[in-house]
Chains A and B, each alone.
Chain A
Amino acid sequence: MSQTDDSESWDLEIEPASGFFDLNWREIWQYRDLIALFVRRDIVATYKQTILGPIWFFVQPILTTITYVVIFGNVAGISTGGIPKILFYLAGITLWNYFQECLMKTSDTFILNQNLFGKVYFPRLAAPISVVISNLFKFFIQLGLFLVAWMYFLIQPENDVNPNITLLLFPLYVLLMSGLGFSFGVLISSLTTKYRDLRFLIQFGVQLLMYGTPIVYPLSIVPEKYRLLLLANPITSIVEAFKYSFLGEGYFSWLWLAYSFIFMVVCLLLSILVFNRVEKTFMDTV
C-alpha cells in the first residue's frame, strides 16, 4: 500500500518551513473571493451605524487641509510654489493618506488577525492585499474630493493650474504608492510578531517620514544640498510628479520615478519573502 502511495500524487504536503521563496501565487488567486469579501467587510463595517456613513471619508481630508492651510500656509508662511494653497495641501494629503493607511493597517496584519490566523488556514497574504485594495476605495473617494476642488480652480483663469500630458502616468503613481505602503507595512508586520518594540516606532516613524516628504512644502523651496537627501525617499518623486501632472508645478523626473519603481520592486520582494518566512511559524511566537 505504501509503495503505491508514494508514487501517486498528493494534493497537499505539509512540511517544515523551507525554501526562501515558495510563495504560492495560484493559491492566492484561488482565494480571490476571500480577498474581495475582506475588502467589502473593511469598507462596510467601518461606517456601519454612523449617520453620515462614507461622508466621513471626506471630513478627515477637509479638516486636515484647513489645518495645514492655516498653520503651514498662513502662520508659518511656507510657499506652495504658486499653486493655490487648498489644492496644494489637498493633493499632498490625499496621496499621503493612502500611503499611510496602507502602511499602518498592513503593519498590524498579524496582531490584528491573530485569532483568525490561529484558527483557520488561508493564504495569509490575502489579509494585507485586501487592506491595500479597500484603502484604494477610500483613496478614490478622497481623490474625487480633490478632483472637485481641482476643477473649481481649473475653470478660474486667474489661477495658475496647468495639468499636462503626464496625467496619463496617474495609474503608475497609485501603483507605486500601493506597492510602497504595502511592502513597508508587511515588512513591519512580519517583524513585530516577534519584536514588539517596532510598533512603538511606527507611529513616530510615519510622522517623521511625512515631514521627510514634500507634503506640506514643495521640493523647490528645499536648499539644493538637501534635495538629493529628500529624493532618496522614494515617495518624494511620486508626490512631486503627481503635483506636476495635475497642477503643472512640481519636480518631474523619469530618473527618480524609475528609482522609486525599482525601490518598490525590491521592497516588495523583500517584504513578501520575510512575510512568507514569518507566516509559517508566527503562531508560535506572536
Chain B
Amino acid sequence: MSETAIKVEKLSKLYQLGEISTGTLSRDLTRWWAGVRGKEDPYRKIGQTNDRTTQGTSDFVWALQDISFEVKKGEILGIIGRNGAGKSTLLKILSRVTKPTTGRIRVRGRMASLLEVGTGFHPELTGRENIFLNGAILGMRKEEIRSKLDEIVDFAGVERYLDTPVKRYSSGMYVRLAFAVAAHLEPEILIVDEVLAVGDAEFQKKCLGKMKDVSENDGRTVLFVSHNMEAVRKLCNRGIVLQNGRITENGKTEYILESYLNNNVSKKYQYQWNDENGRIYDWLILKSIQIVDVDEKILRLISTDHDFDIEIKYDIINANKGLGFTISFWNLSGEIIFQTISNNETNYYGKNLEKGSYVTSCKIPRFMLNQGSYFISLNIFEYGYQNSYLIKEILLVDIQDGQLIRKDYKGSLLGYFRPMINWKSTLKK
C-alpha cells in the first residue's frame, strides 16, 4: 500500500446561521467567559445536524460532523454530495481558508487548492504581471514562475497579448490564462472544485484531462469535489459521499455513485402532466406515463422475473395527425442500454388518429434487463418524424433481483442483461 497523503480525523465545523450582527457581542462575551472558566462553549452543544430542508430550532448547525477519511498518494478522490451537504465547507477547511471547529487534518506534501481560476487577477495588470501575481498567490516562488513562463504562455496561447492588461482579454483568453497558471503549479496534492469545470466543453475536457494526467503520470494526489457525477465517474478511482455533513459512503466510485443515486434521487414510477405542460402540440395533451403490471396497476416493484408495461395516457383533441414514440433505457452511468420505437404496432403506425383518450403501452419483457436502476426517457413525434419532443429521465425505476434464473445462487450476476439462457448438458458415452 502506498503512503497516506491526507488524513482527516473527526473533523467538524460549526456554523452560525442567520444574521451575525446584533447580539454577537454579548454572545462572544458569554463564550469568552465560559472559556475563561474552562467550561465548554455553551453554544456548541445546541448545534444541529445540517439539513437545510427542515427548519431548525437552533441558530447553530454542524456543517460537517465527525468526518474521517484518508487519501493515498497518487489517488484521485471524488467528493460528492447535494448542495449544502458540506462539500464546500470541507474544501474550505482543506484549503485553509477557514479552520475546523474540532478534529484535525494532516497532510504530507505540498498542497494547493484551486477553488477558482484566476484568483487575484488584477484587471489593470498585463497578462505577464498577472501570471506572476497569480502564481505567487498559489504559492509559487518567483524563479519557479519565471522558469515556467514560456510553458504557461504556450499552454494558454496568449503570446500576442502578454503585455496587454487582462481587462482587454476575451473571457475565453482570461480563463485559459488563469487555468494555464494553475495547471503549471506543481503541488503534490491538488484540491479542485467543480466550478473549475465550468466553461465550454473543450475547456472542461482539458481540465479533467490535465487532472487525470497529473495523477497518473506524476503520481500526484487529487481531491475533486463535485456534484457532476459524470466527471467523478470518469476521473476518480475512489469517492466519498457527503450527506448533511456526514460521510455516508466511502469506497470505489461505481459503488458510491450507485448508492448516492439510490439515496439522493427518489424513484419515479409515474409522471403526470397538468393541462398546461401536457399540451405539447395543439392537438395533443399528455396525461401521464407510468409503469404498470399486467393488471394495469401502478408498479413500485419490478422484478427481473416479471414483464412490466410502460403506459402513456394522452388525449387527442384535434383529429388528422399520426403519432409515434420512442422509449429509451439508460443506466446510472449515463450509458444507453436500449431504445424502442412504436413503429411496429401496425394498426397505429402512420395512422391518423381520431379525437379521444388513448393509452399506448409497451411491454418490457422479463429476463432481459439485469437488476439495477434505470432512467427512462420518452420521445414523442408527429408522424413523419416531425416536431419531436424529448423528455429526458422522465422515470427512474429499480429492477429487483428475481430468483427464477439464479435459483439459490446468492452472488450477483454481472452485466447489463439478465437473459434466460438455455443450458444443455448431455452425457456422451
Binding site for B on A (CB under 8 A): 1, 5, 8, 10-17, 31, 33-34, 36-38, 40-41, 44-45, 48-49, 115-122, 194-196, 280-285
Q: List residues 302-341 of chain B with CB under 8 A from any CB of chain A.
A: none
Contact of B100 among A12, A15, A33 (CB under 8 A): A15
Q: Do the beta carbons of B124 and A33 come within 8 Å of each other?
A: no
Minimum C-beta distance from B374 to chain A (A): 39
Alpha-carbon gap, A115 to B109, bound state (A): 26
Render B93-131 as a binary contact track against A, CB cut-off 8 A, 1 for contact. 111111111111111111101011001101011000100
Q: Do the beta carbons of B105 and A121 come within 8 Å of each other?
A: no
Check A13/B105 contact, CB under 8 A, given A48-B165, A121-B96.
Answer: yes
Q: Does B92 contact A (CB under 8 A)?
A: yes
Q: Does B7 contact A (CB under 8 A)?
A: yes
Minimum C-beta distance from B246 to chain A (A): 19
- Among the 9-residue stretches B136-144, B343-351, B409-417, the one with 4 or more Cβ atoms under 8 Å from chain A is B136-144
Q: Do the beta carbons of B101 and A194 come within 8 Å of each other?
A: no
Q: Do the beta carbons of B137 and A41 come within 8 Å of each other?
A: no
How many residues on chain B are close to A (CB under 8 Å)? Answer: 50
| Chain B residues whose C-beta falls within 8 Å of the C-beta of A122 in the assembled complex | 137, 139
| Chain A residues whose C-beta falls within 8 Å of the C-beta of B125 in the assembled complex | 41, 44-45, 48
Q: Do the beta carbons of A40 and B129 come within 8 Å of each other?
A: yes
Contact of B137 among A120, A280, A283 (CB under 8 A): A120
Binding site for A on B (CB under 8 A): 1, 3-4, 7, 15-16, 20-21, 24-25, 28, 92-111, 113, 115-116, 119-120, 122, 124-125, 129, 132-133, 136-142, 165
Q: Do the beta carbons of B99 and A194 come within 8 Å of each other?
A: no
Alpha-carbon gap, A165 to B165, bound state (A): 48
| Chain B residues whose C-beta falls within 8 Å of the C-beta of A195 in the assembled complex | 24-25
Chain B residue nearest in CB terms to A44 = B125
Q: Do the beta carbons of B137 and A13 come within 8 Å of each other?
A: no
Q: Do the beta carbons of B98 and A284 come within 8 Å of each other?
A: yes
Minimum C-beta distance from A110 to chain B (A): 12
Chain A to chain B contacts (Cβ below 8 Å), 10 pairs: A11-B109, A13-B104, A14-B104, A33-B141, A37-B142, A41-B125, A44-B129, A48-B124, A120-B115, A121-B97
| Chain A residues whose C-beta falls within 8 Å of the C-beta of B4 in the assembled complex | 1, 5
Contact of B99 among A5, A17, A34, A41 (CB under 8 A): A17
Q: Do the beta carbons of B108 and A11 come within 8 Å of each other?
A: yes
| Chain B residues whose C-beta falls within 8 Å of the C-beta of A117 in the assembled complex | 97
| Chain A residues whose C-beta falls within 8 Å of the C-beta of B109 in the assembled complex | 11
| Chain A residues whose C-beta falls within 8 Å of the C-beta of B97 in the assembled complex | 117-121, 283
Check A45/B124 contact, CB under 8 A, given A14-B104, A16-B100, A120-B97.
Answer: yes
Minimum C-beta distance from A22 to chain B (A): 12
Minimum C-beta distance from B63 to chain A (A): 9
Q: Do the beta carbons of A33 and B136 come within 8 Å of each other?
A: yes
Check A120/B119 contact, CB under 8 A, given A5-B4, A33-B136, A34-B137.
Answer: yes
Alpha-carbon gap, A15 to B32, bound state (A): 20
| Chain A residues whose C-beta falls within 8 Å of the C-beta of B136 in the assembled complex | 31, 33-34, 37
Minimum C-beta distance from A51 to chain B (A): 15
Closest 10 A-B residue pairs measured CB to CB? A121-B96, A34-B136, A14-B105, A12-B107, A280-B99, A10-B106, A33-B142, A283-B98, A48-B124, A45-B124
Alpha-carbon gap, A135 to B99, bound state (A): 31
Chain A residue nearest in CB terms to B115 = A119
| Chain B residues whose C-beta falls within 8 Å of the C-beta of A119 in the assembled complex | 95, 97, 115-116, 119
| Chain B residues whose C-beta falls within 8 Å of the C-beta of A5 in the assembled complex | 3-4, 7
| Chain A residues whose C-beta falls within 8 Å of the C-beta of B115 in the assembled complex | 119-120
| Chain B residues whose C-beta falls within 8 Å of the C-beta of A282 in the assembled complex | 98
